Structures are given as structure tokens and as C-alpha cells.
Structure 1
Amino acid sequence: MNLKEGSLDQTFIALADPIRRAILARLNLGKARVTEIAEPFPISLNSVSKHIRLLERAALVKREKIGREHILSLNPSGLDEASAWIEETKSLWLARFDTLNALLLKRKRGEL
């Protein structure tokens, strides 16, 4: 597995969990302290921190330390690779469906 594949895997792993997606949705509104992020979740601060670390490994979240405070922000460019992969795969499948559709139309018209 090359580095690019690994980072794509990390992104999809990070996005697979509803808590991590909720964290990203909150950060989409703006920067927040870790304790603010953890507040609405019915899990421990330690568990939320583990989710945040996974988001950081996937380059979806940035952490800034100001004194004792840890401020998180969304890193939207972390989704670029996943978005490109999805679009590339979608284009491939749409082309295949177009080809299949053309073949089915020819068959229906008796041209095959």
C-alpha cells in the first residue's frame, strides 16, 4: 500500500463513525476547544479525544495549543483526496453504465 492509499483509508475510516462526523459538522461552524466538542456527547472526554486524534491522523482536523487550551479547527483540504477518488470512481461507473445502456438499446432494436 502506498502513502496515498493509506491516507485515503484513514479518511474513510475517520468518516465511518457518526461521532467523528458530528465533530466535523461542529467544526464546520468554527473553531472550538476540545472540551466544547466533547460536551454534547454521552461519552467520556478521553473517548472524544481518541476520536479527535483519529480525525487528526486523517488530516481532517487541526489542533492549535494556546496555553493549556487545545483549539480545534476543520481542515477541509483533508477531504480533497477522498473527493477526487469518489469523483473518479463515479465517472468510471457512469461511463460503464452509458456503454451498457447503448448496448441494451442496440439489442432492443435488433442491431445485435
Structure 2
Amino acid sequence: MSGTNGTLVILGMAIVTFIIKAAIFILGGRINFPPLLRQALGFIPVTVLTAIIVPMVLAPRGGGMEFHWRNPQLVAATIAILAAAVTRRQLLTIVVGLSVFFAWQAWIAG
């Protein structure tokens, strides 16, 4: 994804998410949403975040997919997923992911 297109996609996703969340917040007391729709709307932030993160992890240089050990984003994301699954602690997962990323990047560059 090129810089301009990527920025437009991110802005578009942010606007759509904002409008949906604002509509629920403003109209939430006046409109009774079906339980299935209410549950589905709860997944929007996770979906948007995933749509932003996955391309950055799998294709960090904007080219093709980089499924190898020299991709620090992929290594750090994999370790962070494992840390999240084992500990269920968000802050620890972030610290582990960032630590692995910077350490792996320094090791690869050095």
C-alpha cells in the first residue's frame, strides 16, 4: 500500500468507525439495536486494528510478503501473540513485543 493510499484507507476506516460509534452513543437510548447487531458492532475496532497491523507485519517494506526470520515485525508479533495467549496481560504483551522487535532489529542490523 503506497503512502497516500494507505493514509486514505486509514482515514476512511477512522471516519467510518467514528460515525458508527457516535451514532450508537448519540442514538443508543432512542434506538433499540438487535442483540446480534450490537455484538457485531463491538468487533469493529478489533477489525480495523487488524487491518492496519497485519500488512505492516507481513509486508513491512510495502513490497511482497516477508515470511522469514529476518523480518523483526513478524518475529515480534509472533512472540507478542504467544505472550498474550499465555499471560492475558496487555501491558506485558506490549512490552514483550516491543522488546523483541528492537532487540531482533538490532541483532539483524549488527
TM-score under structure 1 length normalisation:
0.30
More helix by share: 2
Structure with more of its chain in strand, by fraction:
1
The higher radius of gyration belongs to 1
* TM-score relative to the length of structure 2: 0.30
Q: Which has the higher contact order (CA 8 A, sep 6+)?
A: 1
